[in-house]
Every structure is written in structure tokens, then in C-alpha cells.
């Protein structure tokens, strides 16, 4: 039941964040979206993801977006509406994205019917490498939290790459935005 | 700036605890949820709270540009360096079992993971602080 309310809140805040013209409130709503998402991850027993979502999504991203917003305008401009020569054609053109979204959504919902139920131990994703990590990660690495064991040890190269990406982002910001003393 | 007094008092009270929690998360990644990335983000957020409460100038005085610029690559080099030390011990790159500090492979693996978590934390915290410092609007622009 609580999952239903949380998901409902997610959809509402996502719609609000997209439709509002006030970018500052959109950013703040996205922060609360991430917080609810973190609660949902916790309910799915993936606490490491929840922790990252709360720290990065609800925390630092909001800060960074507001900081970026302080350099630009807060209110989005009204889109320019042009009068078309063929009103009917224009109306059909406006409806086309709705059809595309509905069709894509229908295909996605149809494909979820074939998916294994949540947390099914017989699901293909849980039969491939997951049993190896669950059984071997503690004796092989000595780390009790096997999410950390996978990230730091088995997938060490990926983590090194991720840190390099973050480092590169920081260097780019320094090179592009920092004002040098002349 | 008198209206900021509540924010400043609360921030001054909370920042040490946030930073302590961030260090706990970095150090505790092996045992519970969390790790270098999350802890680094929380550590960076504590400095951002300081900026919000006390302003850019005051924060830059406490944590200068030079320090964050040094810490940015320091964490990444610590990570990559631990990988290289594994080569000296006869293992492959990032094969922590072969760290030439101890003969016990489990202990070596734990130390290696611990080390790279600290490296990740340093870089992430420094980069988050750098991003915020550089993107925040300066009124003399």
C-alpha cells in the first residue's frame, strides 16, 4: 500500500517538474522525487543504491542545479505559438507525440508481462554471476558488504573509470568557468 | 547579514557532525551500506552548507582553491597508485590480494579496498566542492 502512494507521488512530482515554468521549484521537486526514490530503493532492500540516491540525487544534484541556476534565468520563457496555415494539420501534428508515447508505453507494459516476478530467485539475472558473488565474495575479498566487494574489487576497473569521469568533469569545470587573475 | 544568524548557528553545529558521518560512511563501506562515493558526496555537501551559511569568500578562506585543486587528483592517484603497487607484489593491476604489505591475502584485499574507498572519497568530495565553488554566482561578475 505504501509503495502505491510512493509511486503515485513519484509520478505527480515528475509531471510537475516537467510542466512547471519555474525552474527553481522544478529543481526542488526533483530533489523530493529523489528522496522518495531513495525510500523505494530501501523498500527493495537495495540500501547502497538508496544511499547513493539520497546523497547524490536529493542532496548534491539539487545544490549544483541551483548553483547553475544562479547564473541564468529562473523562469522559463513561454514558447512561441505560431499560427498555422492548415489548423487541422497543425492539430494532428500536436497529437503525434501523444500517440508515440502511448504506443511506446503500451509496448513497454506488454514486455513487462514476460518478466519474472520481483525478487524471483529463479530469474535469469539472479542465476548468472550473482550466486558466485554471494558465495565467494567474503572468503575471497574479506569484505562483508558484497556490493562494496563487487564495486571495489571485482569491478575495480569500472570504479577507477568512474572516478576518472568525475575527475575529468571537475577539471573541465575548472578550465571552462574559473576566472583567472590577470 | 543579521537575518542569517539562525542558519549560521545551525550550520556551525551541524557541519562537524555531517563531516564525521561522511568519514564514517567512507570507512564503513566494507561492513554496511555506503562507501567512498557516498561518503565523499556527504563530505562535499558539508562544505557546500558552509558556503550557503557563511558565503563564498569565507569558505574559500577556510578551504582554499589550492587545497581542492591538489585533492582532486590526489584521490585518483591514490586509487591508481594502489593498483600499481599490486603490480610490484607480482599480481595484476588492482589485484589487491598481492599488495606487498602483508602476506595474508584477505588482509591485503581488505587494505586495498579500504585504500581505494578513501581515494574515491577524497576525489569525489574535492570535485563536488570545486563544482559548487565554480558554478555559484559571484556578484561581481
Q: Is the pLDDT of residue B137 over 70?
A: no
- Whether the predicted pLDDT of B140 surpasses 60: no
Residue B2, pLDDT above cutoff 70 = no
Dist CA B105 CA B39 (whole Å): 26
pLDDT at B40: 92
Give residue-wise pLDDT tens across range B91-114. 788 888 877 877 788 888 888 888
pLDDT over threshold 90, residue A167: yes
Residues of chain A contacting residue B135, judged by C-beta atoms under 8 Å apart: 64, 67-68, 70-71, 173, 177
Paired strand residues for A22:
A75
Q: Is the pLDDT of residue A99 over 90?
A: yes
Secondary structure string (H, E, C) spanning B110-134 = HHHHHHHHHHHHHHHHHHHHHHHHH
pLDDT at B14 over 90: yes
Q: In this complex, which of B72, B80, B107 lies closest to A142 when CB atoms are compared?
A: B107
Least CB–CB distance from B110: residue in A143, A160, A166: A143
- Rounded to a whole number of angstroms, the distance between the first and last alpha carbons of chain A is 61
pTM, to two decimals: 0.83
Chain A interface residues (partner B, CB cutoff 8 A) = 47-48, 50-52, 55-56, 59-60, 63-64, 67-68, 70-71, 139-145, 147-149, 151-153, 156-157, 159-160, 162-164, 166-167, 169-171, 173-174, 177-178
Half-sphere exposure of B129 (CA within 13 A, CB side): 29
**Cα A177 from Cα A96, distance rounded (Å):** 40
The whole-angstrom separation of Cα B60 and Cα B1 is 18
Contacts of A45 in chain B (CB under 8 A): none
Among A91-100, A145-154, A173-182, B80-89, the least confident range: A173-182
A111-122 pLDDT per residue, tens: 988 888 877 778
More confident residue, A8 or B91: A8
Task: Quote the pLDDT of residue A103.
Answer: 96
- CA–CA gap between residue A152 and residue A159 (Å, rounded): 7
Strand-pair partners of A75: A22
CB contact (8 A) between residue A148 and residue B79: no
- Give the tens place of pLDDT for each residue, B82-93: 888 888 878 788
Mean pLDDT over A54-61 rounds to 89
Rounded distance, CA A50 to CA A54, Å? 6
Checking if the pLDDT of B5 tops 70, the result is: yes
Q: In whole angstroms, how large is the CA radius of gyration of chain A?
A: 23
What does the pLDDT average to over A15-44?
A: 90
User: Which of A45-49, A164-168, B125-129 shows the lowest mean pLDDT across its residues?
Assistant: A45-49
B50 or B94: which leads in pLDDT: B50
**Complex ipTM over 0.90:** no
> Can you give the pLDDT at residue B141?
44
For A22, list phi and psi in degrees, rounded to 5. Answer: -85, 105
- Helices and strands: H and E segment counts in chain B: 5, 0
The CA–CA distances, whole Å, from B108 to A36, A49, A142 equal 39, 27, 9
Whether A126 shows a pLDDT value over 90: the answer reads no
Amino acid at each position: 500500500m505504501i509503495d502505491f502512494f510512493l509511486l503515485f507521488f513519484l509520478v505527480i512530482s515528475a509531471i510537475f517538474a516537467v510542466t512547471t515554468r519555474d525552474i527553481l521549484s522544478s529543481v526542488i521537486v526533483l530533489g523530493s522525487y529523489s528522496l522518495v526514490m531513495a525510500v523505494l530503493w530501501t523498500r527493495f532492500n537495495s540500501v547502497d543504491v538508496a544511499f547513493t540516491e539520497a546523497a547524490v540525487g536529493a542532496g548534491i544534484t539539487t545544490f549544483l542545479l541551483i548553483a547553475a541556476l544562479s547564473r541564468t534565468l529562473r523562469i522559463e520563457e513561454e514558447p512561441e505559438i505560431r499560427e498555422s496555415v492548415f489548423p487541422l494539420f497543425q492539430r494532428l501534428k500536436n497529437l503525434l507525440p501523444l500517440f508515440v508515447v502511448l504506443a511506446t508505453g503500451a509496448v513497454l507494459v506488454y514486455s513487462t508481462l514476460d518478466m519474472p516476478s520481483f525478487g524471483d530467485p529463479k530469474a535469469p539475472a539472479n542465476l548468472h554471476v550473482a550466486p558466485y558473488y554471494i558465495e565467494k565474495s567474503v572468503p575471497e575479498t574479506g569484505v562483508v558488504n558484497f556490493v562494496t566487494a563487487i564495486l571495489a574489487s571485482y569491478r575495480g576497473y569500472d570504479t577507477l573509470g568512474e572516478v576518472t569521469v568525475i575527475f575529468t568533469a571537475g577539471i573541465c569545470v575548472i578550465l571552462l568557468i574559473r576566472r583567472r587573475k590577470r | 547579514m543579521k537575518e542569517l544568524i539562525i542558519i549560521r548557528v545551525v550550520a556551525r553545529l551541524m557541519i562537524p557532525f555531517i563531516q564525521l558521518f561522511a568519514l564514517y560512511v567512507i570507512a564503513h563501506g566494507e561492513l554496511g551500506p555506503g562507501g567512498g562515493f557516498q561518503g565523499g558526496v556527504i563530505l562535499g555537501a558539508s562544505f557546500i552548507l558552509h558556503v550557503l551559511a557563511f558565503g563564498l569568500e569565507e569558505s574559500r578562506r577556510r578551504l582554499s582553491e589550492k587545497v581542492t585543486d591538489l585533492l582532486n587528483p590526489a584521490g585518483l592517484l591514490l586509487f591508481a597508485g594502489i593498483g600499481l603497487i599490486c603490480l610490484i607484489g607480482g599480481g595484476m593491476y588492482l589485484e589487491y590480494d598481492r599488495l606487498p604489505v602483508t602476506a595474508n591475502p584477505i588482509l591485503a584485499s581488505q587494505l586495498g579496498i579500504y585504500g581505494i574507498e578513501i581515494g574515491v572519497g577524497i576525489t569525489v568530495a574535492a570535485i563536488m566542492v570545486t563544482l559548487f565553488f565554480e558554478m555559484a554566482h559571484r556578484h561581481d561578475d
